[in-house]
Structures are given as C-alpha cells and as structure tokens.
Amino acid sequence: MSLPPKLWFQWQRIKKAFASSLGSQENPSAASVRMCPHCRALIDRDARTCPLCGEATGPTRARGASSPGRILGVIPIPTTASSVMVAINLALYAIEWYMTQNSASTQMYGAPSMGGVSGEVLRRLGDRDGALIIFDHQWWRLVTAMFLHVGLLHIGMNLWCLVDLGPEVESLFNTTKFIVLYLATGVAGFALSLWWNPGVESAGASGAIMGLIGILIGASFHHGSMGKDYRRQLWRWVIYIGIFGAIGFVFPGFSVDNAAHLGGLLSGLALGYFIPEGEPATRPGENLWNALAVLSALIIAASFALMAVQLGQPLPSL
C-alpha cells in the first residue's frame, strides 16, 4: 500500500536528514528521485507517470553523477543557476570594490567605509541611471544594475535572501525557468523604478529577490491549505523588506528603491501563478523553455558586453 503524498514526502525528508547525519556524501544534483509537478510527492526520477496521483510527470533532464569540480582545487564550481547568480554578484562586487579603491588612491581621497562603492564606479559599471537609459538609450542598464551593489551590507543582505529563496524557486519550477524568471522579475522591477522616479540612480538584486518571493506566493495558491501556511510565511518576508524600505523615508541619506521592490514582487506574483511548476510536460514545452533560458543568458552576457564597450569612454553629460 502506497503512502499518501504528504507522508511520502515527509518520509523522504526524514531519510535524507538521517543519511546526512551519518556523513553521506550523496550529491543532491544526482538524486535518484524528483518531485511530481502535480502532487509534489517524491518519485523515481525516471518515472513517466506518478505512482501516487497517476498523472504524467513529463520528460526528465539528465544529471551528472559526479561531484562538482573546484577552481584551483579550492573554490567549488557553481552547479545550479542560483549559485551562478550568487557567483556573478560576488564577482561584480569585487570589481566594484577594486575600482573604488583604485580611484580613491589615484585621486587622493578616502574610499567609502564598510566596503562602500563610489557612485562614479556604479555609473561606469551600469547602475540604473534614468538619464543615460532614456536619453542615451543604454537600456542594458536595466540588466546590469541587477548585479551591482553599493556596499557590504547591501550585497550581504541580498545574497542571504538569494541563497535562501533561489534554490526553492529553482527546485519548484526547474533551472531553465528559474533563469528566465529571475531576469524577467529583476528587469520588471527596474522598469517600474525607471517609470516611477527616472531621476534617481539605483542598483541591486533586491528587485529580482522580491520577484522570487512573489513567484513563490503566486505558486502557493495552487497548493491548498499547505500553500496558505507557506504564503503566510512569505508575506512576512515582504513586510520585513517593506519596513526596511520605509527607512528611506525617515533617513533621506539612506536610499531604498521601493519601486523596484514593488515591480519585482508584482511581476513575480503573476508569473508564479500562471506558469506551471516542475519540468515542462511536453518536448516542445521543454524546447521552448530551453530557448528562453539561452536567450536570457545571452541578454545578460550582451548587457555586460555593452557595459564593457563603454567602460573606457567618457560618460555623456546629460
């Protein structure tokens, strides 16, 4: 007799926790089970039909069984889209910090404290500058701004949220959908920010992170009472970030792009509600999402290429 889906899922979690406590080195990306996109039970990875709900589970994507490699034998190579996004943000912050320190030393003035990044460096590397976007048509800044941060506290808080929420969205939908959703919600956030207040410069991953929260909230409406409980926890994230954003109204020198937060959240809510969870159910659907993911990666790469082209040129005086 098969267990109910909820009990089956809990049993698998208990087994996984027990294996971890014994020091098991099983690679999660090479797991032999996956989640049914319909009832959310853990089933055999190669199963075409869920034995618990009887629905077709769609095609599976091959996964390597080897453990992730390491750069120079020390730094783990990112194995998920979430970890790749974290790595890109860290790499860009390192470049920002180096350029800020270098500029401060050559111009004989002190660099910002607490790992702060100068406004000129942010502008050079592609923050959300309304004047340059509108009048100089540098629309790629809506993408590059997602990966830039103004200091250690800024990037620390954003990456903490990304590490916590990114894998949840990626496992609930899949890697290709995650890439598309992350880019779409981040750009939507900065697009609303540009419309709301074009004269203010901003940067950061928080618009896309609010998008991830919105995606999970939108998806939770399809999961009955369990989704309601989860949704209640997610709304707490929204409230906490909203309180943090309200600080900008109390302390004028502390700027928070609340419009980008709102744009990311609203776009995430819509996408999470309407886009089906799990792997695509058909081969054409899988091909479509693969193509959209590749297009998203190309958009990100092209945006940074355009940023690099103008890096050594004087910024237009607008």
Six-digit token string for 216: 């999970």
Six-digit token string for 157? 């808080």
User: 261 an active-site residue?
Assistant: yes
38 noted as active-site residue: no
List 83, 206, 296, 303, catalytic entry: 206
Distance set, CA 129 to CA 96, 132, 137, 194, 256 (Å): 16, 6, 11, 8, 15
Residue 228 φ then ψ, to 5°:
-65, -45
Q: Write down the residue that tokens 């419009």 correspond to.
A: 259
Q: How many helices (H) and strands (E) does the chain have?
A: 11, 4
User: In 164-296, at which residue ranges do the beta strands (DSSP E only) sit?
Assistant: none
What radius of gyration do the chain's Cα atoms show? 21
CA separation for the pair 48, 60 (Å, rounded): 9
Which of the following is catalytic: 38, 261, 267, 296? Answer: 261
CA nearest to 193, candidates 105, 269, 137, 133 = 133
Structure tokens at 131: 């004047």
Contact 216, 273 (CB under 8 A): no
Residues acting as catalytic residues: 206, 261
